[in-house]
Structure 1
Amino acid sequence: MKPFYRILVLSLVVPLWVNAQTQPDEKSSFTLDESISYALANTVSVKNARIDAQMSEAKVKETFGIGLPQVSGSVALQHNPKLPRFYSKYTEGQPSIIDLSTIPGISNGDVVAFQNVFQLPSNGTAGLTINQLLFSSTYLVGLKAAGTYKDLAYKTEEQTQIQVLENVTKAYYAVLINNERISLFDNNIARVDTLLRNTTALNQNGFAEAIDVDRIQVTLNNLKTERLKFLNSQNLSLGLLKFQMNYPMEKDLTVVGNLTDLTVNENLFNEYEEGWDYKNRIEYKLLDTQRKLQELDIKNKYSNSMPSLSGYLNLGYGTQSPTIGGLFKTESNIPSTSEFGPDKWYPYTAFGITLNVPLFTGLQHTYQIQQSKLSLLKIQNNYNSLKQTIDLSIEQNTTVYKNSLETLKSQRENMALADKVARVTKIKYEQGVGSNIEVTDAENSLKEAQINYYNALYDAIVAKVDLDKAYAKLDPTKYAAQQPAK
């Protein structure tokens, strides 16, 4: 290869290779806030809800456009091989465009069909039609309804975001707690493995029995087996988190966080109860918007019986010719100063207003209004039902949260005691004043206490998330500015 071509190839390939090496990989480590932001930006349900909200905005503009001038243009060419005839009744003594008395054999009262002398076989028109709505109560109500419909779409999007926030939070903490459990398994395995090696050395020197070694070996094998099972379960937890975030399943995902940052205590109740209002719940906002829409629907049905006023303007040009080809010619023997030529396309203009007054519609509007009022009554009844549902939800989740706090406190104390017992038992065994059975029992008790503690911790976190939802504290708007693009 010549030096010139070698340099050319390198100048093209090297920048591409460098760019590929420096291209950043997709983010794979997420905090809780980052997980929620990613989910709000990429979850299909949120995307669809956001599209619905955008569609509602387009619907508002569509409704607004009804009140703007409606302009349409048209061009028409027509040829009549046979023109329709004109008919006239002959009455003696009455004037007529054509003197029918010259027709042989005609008598008083006869109807004569004669050639169309007022129209040529080919004609063309080109014009504009402009319609403007001047007054319509239906249009005014429709504008308000379109705006309310947009509010409903955005509240529905918020409801979807709250659901995603709840699901991602629970899935995230499940993975985070499982990571802590795996670390505990590793510590327990390391501790039991050390105990096994020490006991094996004691057995070889005649200070411990072989059965002691076997018992510890069984404990160690069980720990390793349970850790393997737990790793498989953790993969499922990660899969669930990826699903809730709409994160690619084939890519690795790591959660970043610290359980010590969790706020799980009874001080939350005072914060929640202060300034609490049913209107904070998204379900209440949705119901309130539906009520407004139903009230506007009633107004719309009333407005259908009101008069409407519109104006119109038609303008354009028209011409006629013996042939189609003649429509496109402007030559004429008529002088240009004449009002009849030489241009054979002549303008026309018409304008006016139209008043439409509904008089009788077979009582359809009456019964439509009656149905809409009954639907509004159902919505008003739902207010009481929704309030009772919210009250019950708050009471239930408060009770569950309080119970989970008590359970968590108890399991934390049990885990600390079990850890203390395991340490003391191991020291006693190493000093020859304790038995091997006591050591294995203490290790099993510690493992069980640790499992119970983390189960209680996860239950407390889930209860807190449910309580946050009950008190309308799950706010997706604070993650809006953080949402990354996928």
Structure 2
Amino acid sequence: MRTLTRILLVQLLWSVPIFAQEGNTSFSLDEAVAYALEHNYDAINAGRDLVDAQKQKWETIATGLPQISGAVSYQNQLKQPVTQIPAEFFGGEPGTFQEVVFGQPQQMNATATLTQQIFDGSYIVGVQATQAFLRYSRNFKEKTDLDVKTAVVEAYGNVLLTKENVLILEKNKKTLEDNLFETKKIFENGLGDQESVDQLQITLSSIDNQLKNAKRLEKITLQMLNLMLGLPLDNATELTEDLDNLTQRQIDFGLLDSQFMIEENTDYKIVQNLNEQRALELKLAKSRALPTLNAYVNYGGLSFGDSFSFFDGGQDWFGFSTLGVDLRIPIFSSLGRSANTQRAKIAYDKAKTQLTQAQSQIKLQHESAKSEYVLAIEQYQTSKDNLNLAERIEGQNQVKYAEGLASSFELRQAQTQLYTTQQEYLQSMVDVINRKTALENIINQ
């Protein structure tokens, strides 16, 4: 069944939300969607990714702002090196040497350094890339919200479908039980045949199995909806919508005439983000041929001693300071930079082609979604008419059978046709709801 397949697919695609609330909860469809956008696991993480992108943007910007670092080093020469100096320097015999130890065994060095990036082409491109990534994160959050909406609408519709299906099957079972009871009585009185009893028994057994399965699915679909909403699986969630009324509200032919702005489509925005990323990668490759310029200034102090007395009040410290500029110029890379730039240009050209392709695909998806929406509405209206006809045919066969003008086989055919039409009618209502959601996602409403 298509309905069960959708349920299983939704279960595989969505993980358990981390925010769960206890208690009875009632939702209309719009309320369920709004609730899920705050509590669904993927929606929550997409929001976190957006915050992460904002932090990443500032992290990149900060690398080009002044940086201050400090360093402290301590050294204790447990065995100081000995240096030989000609003894004649000290009044000794020429040709002889005197062993001398220079300096004190312990020293401490404390330094503070200020660095400032003056020019770096990759930094400029990096800042632009973080801004592009932030736009991508916003679009991805929007895409995730649309996916959550789709999943909730399908889960909500499946719950309504299974509830209606249970009611219909219970009604069908009751009718069959009455028919079987009357047929048995007729057969026991010698006015009927065994085949009529057997035909009705076969139909009743089939409907009974379908009813049991429908009740199991009723529980599963409700648990699936709770899963989408971030509620405990066994939460007593109540739905305030009626399937037929909800379907009627989802029929909006004005949606078909609304102007389609492809720039508002989320998938198109994401493809644009990819195009922008490839353009920045090309700029980055070109920037590697530019020089980089950085400046720094530091100030520090050195202190020496025979023992660790550097924090004593009378300890001498000898200051020093340095101002410097670092200029690096790329000269020759054996054509490595050129090859890297050419590869980036190829990737950018491919991205532009993908953008053109995406435009055509999205426009085609829009036309297809409109067609499927119209078809779903037409099938709903046809299924509704067919259901009235099937009910009339089944009712007429009930009368004919009771009067002995129709066989049990003919009655079973009419009943089977009615049951099939009932399922088609229920499915057509869910299709209208889902097809409208799909169209709304494409035009980003």
1:68 counterpart letter in structure 2? L
The question of 1:174 aligning with 2:174 is answered: no
Query: Matches of residues 390-469 of structure 1 in structure 2 within 5 Å?
Result: 390-424=362-396, 426=398, 437=408, 442-469=414-441
Distance 1:187 1:113 in 2: 117
TM-score, length-scaled by structure 1: 0.74
1:327 counterpart letter in structure 2? F
The question of 1:56 aligning with 2:39 is answered: no
CA contact (8 A) 2:199 2:412 kept: yes
Deviation at 1:60, TM superposition (A): 0.7
**Which of 23, 33, 39 pairs up with 1:26?**
23
TM-score, length-scaled by structure 2: 0.80
Deviation at 1:391, TM superposition (A): 3.4
**Which of 275, 293, 307 pairs up with 1:324?**
307
The equivalent of 1:20 in structure 2 is: none
- For each residue in 1:394-433, what CA deviation from the matched residue of structure 2 results, as whole angstroms up to 9, or x when unmatched? 3433443333333322221111122234445556777x58
Q: CA, structure 1 residues 400+325, in 2 after alignment: closer, same or farther (shift >3 Å)? A: closer
**Which of 120, 142, 158 pairs up with 1:158?**
142
CA contact (8 A) 1:132 1:311 kept: yes
CA contact (8 A) 1:216 1:440 kept: yes
CA contact (8 A) 1:315 1:350 kept: yes
- For each residue in 1:104-161, what CA deviation from the matched residue of structure 2 results, as whole angstroms up to 9, or x when unmatched? 335xxx9x886354x3222112231221223333222211111111111222222222
**Which of 305, 327, 352 pairs up with 2:324?**
352
Distance 1:79 1:235 in 2: 76
Q: Which moved more, 1:177-186 or 1:418-427?
A: 418-427
Query: Matches of residues 186-265 of structure 1 in structure 2 within 5 Å?
Result: 186-193=170-177, 209=192, 219-259=203-243, 260-263=245-248
> Larger Cα Rg: Structure 1 or Structure 2?
1
Deviation at 1:367, TM superposition (A): 1.8
Matched positions, count: 422
2:44 counterpart letter in structure 1? K
The question of 1:130 aligning with 2:114 is answered: yes
The equivalent of 2:100 in structure 1 is: 115
Deviation at 1:289, TM superposition (A): 1.2
Distance 1:80 1:221 in 2: 96
Distance 1:87 1:160 in 2: 77
The equivalent of 1:295 in structure 2 is: 279
Q: CA, structure 1 residues 113+403, in 2 after alignment: closer, same or farther (shift >3 Å)? A: farther
Distance 2:308 2:246 in 1: 87
Distance 1:81 1:439 in 2: 108
CA contact (8 A) 1:53 1:153 kept: yes
Q: CA, structure 1 residues 295+215, in 2 after alignment: closer, same or farther (shift >3 Å)? A: closer
1:472 counterpart letter in structure 2? I
Q: Which moved more, 1:158-167 or 1:377-386?
A: 158-167
Q: Determine what percentage of the aligned residue pairs are the same residue.
A: 22
Deviation at 1:246, TM superposition (A): 4.8
Q: CA, structure 1 residues 330+391, in 2 after alignment: closer, same or farther (shift >3 Å)? A: closer
CA contact (8 A) 1:70 1:132 kept: yes
- Taking only aligned residues, the RMSD between alpha carbons, in angstroms, comes to 3.6
Distance 2:154 2:359 in 1: 26
The equivalent of 1:279 in structure 2 is: 263
**Which of 104, 113, 118 pairs up with 2:93?**
104
Q: Which runs of 5+ in 1 are unaligned?
A: 1-23, 91-97, 332-342, 476-486
1:313 counterpart letter in structure 2? V
Distance 1:116 1:34 in 2: 85
Q: Which moved more, 1:167-176 or 1:454-463?
A: 454-463
**Which of 36, 48, 69 pairs up with 2:33?**
36
Distance 1:271 1:81 in 2: 86
Distance 1:257 1:208 in 2: 49
CA contact (8 A) 1:124 1:318 kept: yes
Q: Which runs of 5+ in 2 are unaligned?
A: 1-20
CA contact (8 A) 1:264 1:460 kept: no
Distance 2:250 2:383 in 1: 15
Distance 1:167 1:408 in 2: 21
The equivalent of 1:80 in structure 2 is: 77
Distance 2:151 2:338 in 1: 47
Distance 1:145 1:163 in 2: 26
SS of the residue corresponding to residue 262 of structure 1 reads helix
Q: CA, structure 1 residues 224+328, in 2 after alignment: closer, same or farther (shift >3 Å)? A: closer
Query: Matches of residues 351-390 of structure 1 in structure 2 within 5 Å?
Result: 351-390=323-362
The equivalent of 2:443 in structure 1 is: 472
The question of 1:144 aligning with 2:128 is answered: yes
- For each residue in 1:306-342, what CA deviation from the matched residue of structure 2 results, as whole angstroms up to 9, or x when unmatched? 2333332212332111x233434445xxxxxxxxxxx
- For each residue in 1:268-305, what CA deviation from the matched residue of structure 2 results, as whole angstroms up to 9, or x when unmatched? 3x534532132222221111112212222222222233
Deviation at 1:198, TM superposition (A): 6.9
Deviation at 1:59, TM superposition (A): 0.9
CA contact (8 A) 1:40 1:164 kept: yes
SS of the residue corresponding to residue 310 of structure 2 reads helix
SS of the residue corresponding to residue 322 of structure 2 reads strand
CA contact (8 A) 2:282 2:341 kept: yes
Distance 1:222 1:298 in 2: 66
- For each residue in 1:221-279, what CA deviation from the matched residue of structure 2 results, as whole angstroms up to 9, or x when unmatched? 543332112222333433443444454334444433122132578853x5345321322
2:308 counterpart letter in structure 1? G
